[in-house]
């Protein structure tokens, strides 16, 4: 069973709930214009970064899940990991993009990086959880370093049981060390000073990660660079890593 909603719709609901409920900031283009826009991006966020008002930095790539409730067709390799229903989502193929390996590289350089996928399908469920403010509670986070780098051109997947308690990385099933709920993730992310110094260091880390994975220098338009380190970081995160950047107090 497919999700019945796309990644942008899931990301939209996730981000709106995140900013509303976590006294936190999404460093990127606001998805919901509102009176809280200045807390999402702008002078207020930049001021708080400069004054060290945040203590956690998190990078997330959103996925949507499909759900299998019975054994059929070619899903045996997934089904027998759980002996029952499961969720799964695909990881981008290496012959199309190097995003997965970039996420692994960024995580190995000390940043908190995760895939995030819902443990539900169906547009009705997305709408219901969004109204209830429980999209995040019904999502799980997966550490790309548990999966390791991809070196072939096969289609790989991440799967988890129907409750999101444990999961595997496929094609050859490899049990993940953990799947993480939002409450656990918030407690486990590194405690750091997200200030101007951190932003400068992050810009260097991103450049070095891209250089390592691509064996080439990344390119940023001059007009983006003129805006300073934060617009530059956002450009790199979107173009190369396809992640959202969240900062928390």
For residue 32, pLDDT beyond 80: no
Position 33 confidence tier, pLDDT thresholds 50, 70, 90? very low
**Residues 164, 116 contacting (CB under 8 angstroms):** no
**Can you give the pTM of this predicted structure?**
0.89
For residue 2, pLDDT beyond 80: no
**Residues 109, 206 contacting (CB under 8 angstroms):** no
For residue 50, pLDDT beyond 70: no
For residue 45, pLDDT beyond 60: no
Q: What pLDDT is stored for residue 210 in this prediction?
A: 96
The pLDDT of 15-19, averaged and rounded, is 87
- Cα–Cα distance between 225 and 235 in angstroms, integer? 9
pLDDT tens for 112-147 read 999 999 999 999 999 999 999 999 999 999 999 999
Position 37 confidence tier, pLDDT thresholds 50, 70, 90? very low
For residue 36, pLDDT beyond 60: no
pLDDT tens for 201-240 read 999 999 999 999 999 999 999 988 888 888 889 889 999 9
In sequence order, the β-bridge partners of residue 114 are: 60
Q: What pLDDT is stored for residue 38 in this prediction?
A: 37
DSSP alpha helices (H): ranges in the chain? 7-21, 37-40, 43-50, 76-82, 99-108, 123-132, 144-147, 182-188, 196-214, 222-225, 229-236
Query: What's the distance, Cα to Cα, between the start and end of the chain in Å?
Result: 38
Length of the chain: 249
**Residues 240, 224 contacting (CB under 8 angstroms):** no
Nearest alpha carbon to residue 242 among 10, 42, 86, 59: 59
Nearest alpha carbon to residue 81 among 161, 200, 194, 179: 161
Nearest alpha carbon to residue 63 among 8, 17, 109: 8
- Token output for 34: 């509102």
**Residues 62, 7 contacting (CB under 8 angstroms):** yes
Beta strands in 101-176 (DSSP E): 112-118, 139-142, 156-161, 167-170, 174-175
pLDDT tens for 51-105 read 567 888 999 999 999 999 999 888 999 999 999 999 999 999 999 999 999 999 9
In sequence order, the β-bridge partners of residue 59 are: 113, 245
- Cα–Cα distance between 66 and 158 in angstroms, integer? 11
Q: Which residues contact 29 (CB under 8 A, 6 or more apart)?
A: 41
């Amino acid at each position: 069973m497919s999700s019945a909603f796309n990644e942008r719709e899931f990301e939209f609901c996730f981000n709106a709930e995140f900013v509303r409920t976590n006294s936190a900031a999404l460093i990127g283009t606001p998805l919901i214009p509102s009176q809280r826009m200045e807390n999402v991006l702008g002078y207020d966020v930049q001021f708080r970064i400069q004054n060290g008002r945040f203590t956690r930095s998190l990078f997330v790539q959103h996925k949507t899940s499909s759900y299998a409730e019975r054994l059929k067709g070619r899903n045996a390799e997934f089904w027998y990991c759980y002996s029952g229903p499961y969720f799964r989502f695909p990881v981008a193929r290496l012959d199309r993009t190097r995003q997965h390996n970039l996420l692994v590289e960024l995580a190995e350089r000390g940043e908190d990086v995760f895939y995030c996928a819902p443990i539900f399908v169906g547009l009705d469920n997305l709408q219901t959880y969004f109204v209830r403010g429980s999209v995040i509670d019904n999502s799980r986070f997966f550490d790309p370093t548990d999966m390791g780098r991809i070196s072939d051109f096969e289609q790989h997947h991440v799967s988890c049981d129907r409750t999101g308690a444990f999961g595997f990385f496929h094609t050859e099933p490899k049990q993940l060390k953990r799947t993480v709920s939002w409450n656990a993730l918030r407690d486990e992310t590194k405690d750091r000073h997200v200030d101007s110094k951190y932003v400068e260091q992050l810009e260097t880390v991103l450049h070095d990660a891209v250089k390592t994975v691509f064996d080439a220098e990344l390119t940023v338009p001059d007009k983006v660079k003129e805006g300073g380190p934060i617009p530059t970081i956002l450009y790199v995160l979107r173009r190369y890593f396809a992640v959202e950047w969240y900062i928390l107090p």
